Amino acid sequence: MMRWSSLLVAGCLLLTVFNLFRTQADQSRYVERVTQLQQSVAELEADKTQLNEQLSSVVAMSKRLQALEANRQALNDSLKTLTAERAKHYERLEHENAALRAWGAVPLPADVARLRERPAFTSAAAYREWLSAADTVPAASESSDAEPRPAATD
């Protein structure tokens, strides 16, 4: 009977040692996993800090953009007001002065009229393309067909 009990005790001891090693292996795996999770948490905290900084920067830029937009709108309103006042001033002058009224009724020379008709450009390439077109304004040294040429004096 002693033999069975010593075998049983030895078996229990072996099971206890096996469980101890298994528990120790599990514990080392858990420690590794906890370490990995702590590193992930640290990385996430760093990402969170960076995102908060970027968000603060975006909010600051948004406020700056709103201020600039308000300034642009105020300038635009001011320019519209000044343009309307100038138009009223010219209209008043035309009504007051017959010579000015006559001058305002004369059509513009063809080259000047073409300058007023040029398109609005959205890029430098569009402007270059327009300049290279055949119907551009002649150089100042050239005379256009619409302007009378001075008579040659001999």
What are the pLDDT digits (tens) for 52-83?
999 999 999 999 999 999 999 999 999 999 99
1 pLDDT band, cuts 50/70/90, is low
pLDDT tops 70 at residue 153: no
Q: What is the pLDDT of residue 20?
A: 79
Q: Which helix (H) or strand (E) holds 30?
A: helix 2-96
Percentage of residues of the chain with pLDDT beyond 70: 84
Q: Is residue 138 part of a domain?
A: no
Give the C-alpha separation, 137 to 125, whole Å.
18
Q: Is residue 96 part of a domain?
A: yes
Is 0.75 topped by the overall pTM?
A: no
Supply 19's token pair.
């469980």
Q: Is residue 97 part of a domain?
A: yes
Range of the domain at 104: 12-131
